[in-house]
C-alpha cells in the first residue's frame, strides 16, 4: 500500500525544513537529534506504577538500567521483560526506549527492565551482545529480589535492540538462562543483506540502506566479525531450541525482508512464530506512539503477545 498519510506528511515536513539524515551528522549531533525526534513522537508518558534506576554488573563494568513496575500489580512475582533500545548500536539510551517500556509494562502486566548496553564505535561488537546477555543472566538470578519470576523471563528490542534480543536468545540457548519468549521489532539480522527491501528503500528522509551501512560501519571494528551469529543472527547454523517469537516488520523498511526471513527460519526450526508486517509504515514507527495509531496498535499487539507467553490473565 502507499506510504501512510501521516508519514507522508512527516516526510513533507522534513523536506520543507531541510532535515539532514543522521548519517550526515557527527555522532554527538546524531545522538542528540535521535533523542529529540523520539521524544517528540512518543507522546505523553504512559502511566506505570513505579520507575526505578538499577545498576547491573556487565563484562565491561556496571550497566545502567531502568525498572518499570505496573500499577496495581497483583501479589506474587511478576513476569520480567528485558528490553533493548534501538539506534544502530550507535545511538539510543534509556530515555529513547522509555515510551515503549512504559506501554509494554502497563499492557503486558510485567516488570520491564531496559538495559543501557555499551554503544559503538566507542565499544564495538561484541560488547553490546555480551552486555545484554550478562544483564539477562543477572535478571534471572535476581528476579525474585525485584518482585519478578525468573521462570517467566523474555527479551525484546527494536531495530538494533531486536538484533541484540536475537543474539541473547542464541547465547541463552547455550549458556542459559531459560527464556519464555522473544519479540523482535524490525531487527537487523544480516550484515550485507542484498534483498529487495534493502535495494528499494533509499529515501534520504527516512531510514534507508545508507543508514544501514552507516550503523554497521560504526558497530563492526572488522567486517569479518559480521560472520559471527551474534552480529548476524540470520547466519546462525541452527535456530533450534530458541524461544517462541513475535517478529514485527514495516513495509517501507530496508530491514523488512531479512526480518521476515529470520521469522521463516525460526519457523522452519520448529520455533513457534508470529509475524506481523505493518503496511504503509517505515522503520522507526514503533516508537511513534504519540504520532501514529499504528504504533499504538503494534505496541498493544506486542503486549498481548507477551501476556499470552507469560500466562498473564487478560
Angle at 115 between CA 109 and CA 120, to 5 degrees: 145
Buried b (16+ CB within 10 A) or exposed e, 100-124: bbbbbbbbbbbbbbbbbbbbbeebb
DSSP 247: E
Instruction: Specify the pTM.
Output: 0.98
Is-contact 140 150, C-beta < 8 A? Answer: yes
Instruction: Count the alpha carbons within 13 Å of 36 in the hemisphere toward its beta carbon.
Output: 7
For the chain, how far is it from start to end, CA to CA, in angstroms? 32
Domains of the chain: 5-310 (3.40.50.1820)
Per-residue pLDDT of the chain (314 residues; tens, 9 = 90+): 899 999 999 999 999 999 999 999 999 999 999 999 999 999 899 999 999 999 999 999 999 999 999 998 777 899 999 999 999 999 999 999 999 999 999 999 999 999 999 999 999 999 999 999 999 999 999 999 999 999 999 999 999 999 999 999 999 999 999 999 999 999 999 999 999 999 999 999 999 999 999 999 999 999 999 999 999 999 999 999 999 999 999 999 999 999 999 999 999 999 999 999 999 999 999 999 999 999 999 999 999 999 999 999 87
Give the C-alpha separation, 34 to 15, whole Å: 17
The set of catalytic residues is 159, 253, 283
Is-contact 74 51, C-beta < 8 A? Answer: no
pLDDT, tens only, 194-236: 999 999 999 999 999 999 999 999 999 999 999 999 999 999 9
pLDDT, tens only, 87-97: 999 999 999 99
Place of cell 501476556: 307
For residue 166, count CB atoms less than 10 angstroms from its CB and return exposed for 0-12, middle for 13-18, buried for 19 or more. Answer: buried
DSSP string computed for 245-301 = EEEEEEEE-TTHHHHHHHHHHHHHTT--EEEEEEEEEETTGGG-TTT-HHHHHHHHH
Place of cell 543472527: 233
Amino acid at each position: 500500500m502507499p506510504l501512510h498519510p501521516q508519514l507522508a506528511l512527516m516526510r513533507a515536513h522534513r523536506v520543507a525544513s531541510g532535515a539532514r539524515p543522521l548519517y550526515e551528522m557527527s555522532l554527538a549531533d546524531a545522538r542528540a537529534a535521535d533523542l529529540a525526534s523520539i521524544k517528540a513522537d512518543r507522546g505523553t508518558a504512559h502511566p506505570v506504577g513505579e520507575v526505578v534506576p538499577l545498576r547491573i554488573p556487565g563484562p565491561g563494568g556496571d550497566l545502567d538500567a531502568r525498572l518499570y513496575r505496573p500499577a496495581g500489580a497483583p501479589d506474587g512475582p511478576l513476569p520480567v521483560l528485558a528490553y533493548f533500545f534501538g539506534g544502530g548500536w550507535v545511538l539510543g539510551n534509556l530515555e529513547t526506549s522509555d515510551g515503549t517500556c512504559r506501554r509494554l509494562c502497563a499492557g503486558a502486566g510485567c516488570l520491564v527492565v531496559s538495559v543501557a548496553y555499551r554503544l559503538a564505535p566507542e565499544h564495538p561488537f561484541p560488547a553490546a551482545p555480551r552486555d545484554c546477555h550478562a544483564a539477562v543472566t543477572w535478571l534471572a538470578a535476581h528476579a525474585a529480589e525485584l518482585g519478578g519470576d525468573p521462570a517467566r523471563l523474555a527479551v525484546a528490542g527494536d531495530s538494533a535492540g531486536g538484533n541484540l534480543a536475537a543474539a541473547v536468545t542464541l547465547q541463552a540457548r547455550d549458556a542459559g538462562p531459560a527464556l519464555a519468549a522473544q519479540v523482535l521489532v524490525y531487527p537487523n539480522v544480516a550484515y550485507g543483506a542484498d534483498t529487495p527491501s534493502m535495494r528499494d528503500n533509499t529515501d534520504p528522509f527516512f531510514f534507508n540502506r545508507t543508514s544501514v551501512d552507516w550503523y554497521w560501519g560504526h558497530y563492526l571494528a572488522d567486517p569479518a566479525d559480521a560472520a559471527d551469529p551474534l552480529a548476524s543472527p540470520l547466519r546462525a547454523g541452527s535456530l533450534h531450541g530458541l524461544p517462541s517469537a513475535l517478529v514485527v516488520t514495516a513495509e517501507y523498511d530496508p530491514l523488512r525482508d531479512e526480518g521476515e526471513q529470520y521469522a521463516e527460519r525460526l519457523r522452519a526450526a520448529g520455533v513457534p512464530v508470529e509475524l506481523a508486517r505493518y503496511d504503509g509504515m517505515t522503520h522507526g514507527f514503533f516508537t511513534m506512539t504519540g504520532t501514529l495509531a499504528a504504533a499504538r496498535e503494534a505496541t498493544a499487539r506486542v503486549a498481548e503477545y507477551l501476556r499470552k507467553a507469560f500466562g498473564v490473565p487478560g
